[in-house]
Structure 1
Amino acid sequence: MTSTAGASEWRAANRANWDERVPIHAAGSYYDLPGFVAGNETLRSFERAEVGDVKGKTLLHLQCHIGLDTLSWARHGATVTGLDFSAPAMAVAAELAQQIGVTARFVPADLYDAPGALDGQTFDIVYTGIGALCWLPDVAEWARTVAALLAPGGFLYLVEFHPVADVLADDGRTVEEDYFSREPMVVDDPLTYADPDARLTASLTVEWRHGLGEVVSALADAGLHLQFLHEHDHGHFRFPPGQPVPQLYSLRAVKPAAPVGRHLEGP
C-alpha cells in the first residue's frame, strides 16, 4: 500500500485498472465464460433464496463487471439491466447476452451518475454483488442513488464481503487492518485475483473500507427500510475453510410504496 497521495484521481485510476482486467477475466478460468455459456450458475443459493422469485421483475445490477450475475438473474426470469463504469466490461457482457440468447441492457456509466444514465428509469430490484462497495468513496451517496433507482415498493439486495473479514490476514484469524479507518487506501499492485500470472500496467487502485453500521445507517438515511441483515460464515475466496468469523453479509432494504405522512394532532 502506498500513501493516500493521488486518491483524488480515484475514478480514473480504478477505471483504467478494471478496463485492463476485462480481457484477462474474460479469457481466464476464474470466470469460466464457456462454462457460463453452457449453463453454469454464478449466484449463490442463499442469494436466490433471499431475493425470491424474480420472474417478471425489473432488476438493475450496479457495478456488474462482465455481467455474469446480471445474466444469471435474467436466466431466472428477470428483465435485467447492468451498469458498470468500464465500457469494455459492458461490451463483453452484451456479447455474452447474445451468446446465451438473453435480452439484457448494459450501460457504461459511473454509479453515482446512474439515474441520469438510465433516463430516470426505476426498478423492482436493485442488486449489488460481492466486492463492489470498496470501490466507492461515499456510501451515503451510494444509498441515495439506490433509493432513486428503486420503484416504490421495490428493494435493494446487497451481498458483500463482511467488513470484519476485510481487516483479517489471509489466514482468516489475524487482524492486520483498522476496521474503523475510512481513509482512502491507495494500492499499487499489478496482480488481479482472477489470474495470478497476469500483470497489469494500470496497477494503481483506490479503495475504501465501509463498516456494517455505516452501510445500514446510510440506507436508513436514504429512506429505505431494512428487512433483514444476515451474516455468513463462508464464501470469502481468500480464507481456508472453517474460519470462525463472518465472511459475507447480505441485506434487503425496501423503498416504501408510498410516503408516510406525519400525523398532526388537533388542538
Structure 2
Amino acid sequence: MEKYIEVNRDLWNKKTEVHVTSEFYDVASFRAGKSTLKPAELEALGDVSGKSLLHLQCHFGLDSLSWARLGAKVTGVDLADKAIEAAKELNSELGLDAEFICSDIYDLKNVLGKKFDIVFTSYGTIGWLPDLNKWADVVSHFLKPGGTFFIAEFHPVRWMYDDDCVKMEYSYFNIEPIIEEVGHSYADKDRAINQLSYGWNHPLSDVFTALLKQNMHITEFKEYPYSYYKCFNNTVQNELGYYEIKGTEGKMPLMYSVKAIKN
C-alpha cells in the first residue's frame, strides 16, 4: 500500500471522530429528516428514484443517505474505516437500505462487481487522489452505458492560495503532492488533529481530459463564485446564504461542477 493512502486514511479517521459530533455536519438535524444535498447536484441529477447510485469518497454517508431517502439504490465507498462504520450505523438506525464499502478508490474494481446508473462524487474528493486518469477509469468502469457521472468540487483556483486566500502559495498544476501538517478540521477548529496529509491540486484540464479519454460525453460544466459550505477562512455570506471570499465577491471561482454521460 502506498504511503499516502495510509496517511490519509489516518487523517480521515481522525476527522470522522470530530465530524460526527460537529455543528458543521449537524447530524441531529439529518436524523430529523434534513437533506445534506445541495442545489448543484439536485438540479443536475433530478429524480433518482429507483436508480442505482455509486457515491465515491462518501465520508460518513450523509449525502449517500440523503440520496437513499430520495429513492436511489445507493452504494457508498470511502477510504476511512471509521467513516464507513459511522455510515453503516446511521443507515441501520434510520432504517435505510444503502450499502457502504471501505476501499481505496483505485482498488474498487477488486471489491465491487456492480454497474450503476449514476456515479456521484462531491466537495473535497479528487484533491486526495494523485492520478485522475486512474480515477476516471474507475468512474467509467462502474457506469452502465448511458449512465450519468456528476462531480461537484471546490475550484482549483481556490487551492492556489493560503488559508486566508490572501497569498498565492501553490501551483494550479499537479506537479507534485502537497504534503502538510493538518492541525484541525474545517468542521471544528477547536479540536486538534495534528496529522500529516497528502493532497493534489488538479487543474480543470486534467479533469476534462481524464473523462474524455474514457469516452465520456460532457453535457454540463458550471463554475460558482461561492461555496455552499463555510469551510474557508475570511468569508462573507451572500444574498443566497452561501460563502464568498471577502474582497473577491463575485470575482473568484470557489466551486465547479461537471455532468457527463457514458457513451
Q: What is residue 39 of structure 1 aligned with on the other side?
A: 33
Q: What is residue 245 of structure 1 aligned with on the other side?
A: 252
The answer as to 2:208 corresponding to 1:216 is yes
Q: Name the amino acid aligned to 1:78.
A: A
Report the Cα distance in structure 2 between the residues aligned to 1:46 and 1:36, rounded to whole angstroms: 19
The partner residue of 1:200 within 186, 193, 196 is 193
Q: How many residues align?
A: 247
Deviation at 1:170, TM superposition (A): 4.6
The answer as to 2:94 corresponding to 1:100 is yes
SS in 1 for 2:88: helix
Q: 1:20 to 1:169 in 2, by over 3 A?
A: closer
Report the Cα distance in structure 2 between the residues aligned to 1:170 and 1:204, rounded to whole angstroms: 16
Q: What is residue 13 of structure 2 aligned with on the other side?
A: 19
Q: Name the amino acid aligned to 2:19.
A: H
Q: What is residue 160 of structure 1 aligned with on the other side?
A: 153
Offset from partner CA, 1:35-84 (integer Å, 9 cap, x none) = 11111121112210111110110001000000011111111110101000
The partner residue of 1:175 within 154, 163, 168 is 168
Q: 1:130 to 1:100 in 2, by over 3 A?
A: same
The answer as to 2:45 corresponding to 1:78 is no
Among all aligned residue pairs of Structure 1 and Structure 2, give the percentage whose two residues are the same amino acid: 39
Offset from partner CA, 1:232-262 (integer Å, 9 cap, x none) = 1111631433241111100111111xxxxxx
Q: What is residue 241 of structure 2 aligned with on the other side?
A: none
Report the Cα distance in structure 2 between the residues aligned to 1:228 and 1:115, rounded to whole angstroms: 27
Report the Cα distance in structure 2 between the residues aligned to 1:32 and 1:20, rounded to whole angstroms: 18
Instruction: Name whichever of 96-105 and 236-245 sits farther off.
Output: 236-245
The answer as to 2:232 corresponding to 1:225 is no
Residues 78 and 105 of structure 2 are in contact (CA less than 8 Å); yes or no, is this contact kept in structure 1?
Answer: yes
SS in 2 for 1:176: coil
Deviation at 1:172, TM superposition (A): 4.5
Q: 1:221 to 1:10 in 2, by over 3 A?
A: same
Report the Cα distance in structure 1 between the residues aligned to 2:217 and 2:101, rounded to whole angstroms: 28
Q: Name the amino acid aligned to 1:205.
A: S
Q: Name the amino acid aligned to 1:36.
A: F
Report the Cα distance in structure 1 between the residues aligned to 2:174 and 2:109, rounded to whole angstroms: 30
Residues 153 and 256 of structure 2 are in contact (CA less than 8 Å); yes or no, is this contact kept in structure 1?
Answer: yes
Q: 1:90 to 1:184 in 2, by over 3 A?
A: same
Structure 1 stretches of at least 4 aligned residues deviating more than 6 Å after TM superposition: none
Residues 94 and 106 of structure 1 are in contact (CA less than 8 Å); yes or no, is this contact kept in structure 2?
Answer: yes
Report the Cα distance in structure 2 between the residues aligned to 1:113 and 1:169, rounded to whole angstroms: 32
Highest Rg: 1 or 2?
Answer: 1
Q: Name the amino acid aligned to 1:228.
A: E
Deviation at 1:173, TM superposition (A): 5.9
Residues 65 and 96 of structure 2 are in contact (CA less than 8 Å); yes or no, is this contact kept in structure 1?
Answer: yes
User: TM (normalized to structure 1)?
Assistant: 0.88
Q: Name the amino acid aligned to 1:189.
A: V
Report the Cα distance in structure 1 between the residues aligned to 2:130 and 2:161, rounded to whole angstroms: 21
Report the Cα distance in structure 2 between the residues aligned to 1:79 and 1:190, rounded to whole angstroms: 37
Report the Cα distance in structure 1 between the residues aligned to 2:119 and 2:251, rounded to whole angstroms: 30
For 1:122-133, list aligned pairs within 5 A: 122-133=115-126
Deviation at 1:171, TM superposition (A): 5.0
Residues 156 and 253 of structure 1 are in contact (CA less than 8 Å); yes or no, is this contact kept in structure 2?
Answer: yes
Report the Cα distance in structure 2 between the residues aligned to 1:65 and 1:148, rounded to whole angstroms: 21
SS in 1 for 2:36: coil
The answer as to 2:151 corresponding to 1:144 is no
Q: Looking at secondary structure, tell me which structure has more strand per residue.
A: 2
Unaligned 5+ segments in structure 2 are 237-243
Deviation at 1:99, TM superposition (A): 2.2
Q: Name the amino acid aligned to 2:140.
A: A
